[in-house]
Amino acid sequence: MLRHPVDADVDADVDVDVDVDVLSDDVGIKFVSAKPSPSFHQQSRHFSTRTALRKQQGLTIWLTGLSASGKSTIAVELEHQLLTHYNVAAYRLDGDNIRFGLNKDLGFSEADRNENIRRIAEVAKLFADSNTIAITSFISPYRKDRETARQLHAAAIHGEEGGQGSSGLPFVEVYIDVPVEVAEQRDPKGLYKKAREGIIKEFTGISAPYEAPEKPEIHIKSHEVGIKEAVAVIIEYLEAKGYLPERAVQN
């Protein structure tokens, strides 16, 4: 524990936890660097209190599937219906959009894909903890990465140090299933064509693997149902689980 030096702009009684690196030599010990050691800062309101005040459940709806499977289109319609029909706060996190900002430093190697999903899982968890419904639409091709996202939500501590009274945050995996040949026929961005030509390397479904979910909460075959029908399936599940309030606007 180090005490901050007295400063006119700093409270002299503020304590700072640090990890200190030291080196020893013939003369004695040298302090090389002091690195802040983060500690969890408790929220001003408990998760259950925020839930009661905001009158909605926070959770993450994780859409996964091949490029051109329909994830983003379904996510857009789902967000729209939650906002307009249920008057709940919902926010869509899109795989393409995130790479313009938060993850613009990442490529498409397996390691970068892992980090891409880790970051967005952490962001989605924060949205869910704030009692917002996070809707993510990411290819997220690897089971271990999706499981990491799930476990991050399961271990969420809801603003209480040590997780006392916490039961985790709901995580709903939605597999948007489509045969690769159908996705390739759709190919709105021409990505499959470029992957076949070797222009795009490590493209999921062509030159990189997609590991389909084994036990998703929801399995939608987007080549067999329309967008509104797919969204209806998701909403029906959310209602059955008690994640949504009473519908505010009827069709």
Reported as a single tens digit per residue, the pLDDT across 50-74 is: 777 778 889 999 999 999 999 999 9
pLDDT in tens, 131-163: 999 999 999 999 999 999 999 999 876 544 344
Confidence of residue 14 (pLDDT cuts 50, 70, 90): very low
**For residue 32, what pLDDT is reported?**
54
Q: Report whether pLDDT(182) > 90.
A: yes
pLDDT of residue 16: 47
Please, what is the Cα angle at 60 between 56 and 65, to 5 degrees?
Answer: 145
Strand-pair category, 171-177 with 218-221: parallel
**Over 50: is that where the pLDDT of 15 sits?**
no
| Dist. CA 59–CA 138, nearest whole Å | 16
213/142 Cα distance (integer angstroms):
9
The answer to whether 118 touches 145, Cβ cutoff 8 Å, is yes
Could you tell me the pLDDT band of residue 106, with boundaries at 50, 70 and 90? confident
203-251 pLDDT, tens digit per residue, is: 999 999 999 999 999 999 999 999 999 999 999 999 999 999 888 766 6
Take residue 142 and report the two structure tokens written for it: 């690897």
Q: Which amino acid is at 145?
A: D
Radius of gyration of the CA atoms of the chain, in A: 23
* pTM of the entire predicted model: 0.77
Active-site residue 72, yes or no? no
What Å distances lie between residue 163 and 70, 119, 139, CA to CA? 37, 21, 31
The one catalytic residue in 69, 72, 137, 140 is: 140
Tell me the longest C-alpha to C-alpha distance in the chain: 80
Helix (H) or strand (E) holding 23: strand 18-24
What's the rounded Cα separation, in Å, for the pair 41 and 135? 26
Q: How confident is the model at residue 127 (pLDDT cuts 50, 70, 90)?
A: very high
* CA angle (146, 149, 150) in 5-degree steps: 90
Give the other-Cβ count within 10 Å of 148's Cβ. Answer: 16
Q: How confident is the model at residue 109 (pLDDT cuts 50, 70, 90)?
A: confident
Q: Give all domains of the chain, ordered by start, each with its CATH number.
A: 44-178+209-241 (3.40.50.300)
- Which of 87, 104, 144 has the alpha carbon at shortest distance from 121? 144
**Residue 152, phi then psi, degrees to nearest 5:** -60, -40
* pLDDT value at 130 more than 50: yes
| pLDDT given at position 55 | 80
Residue 227 main-chain phi, psi, to 5 deg: -60, -50
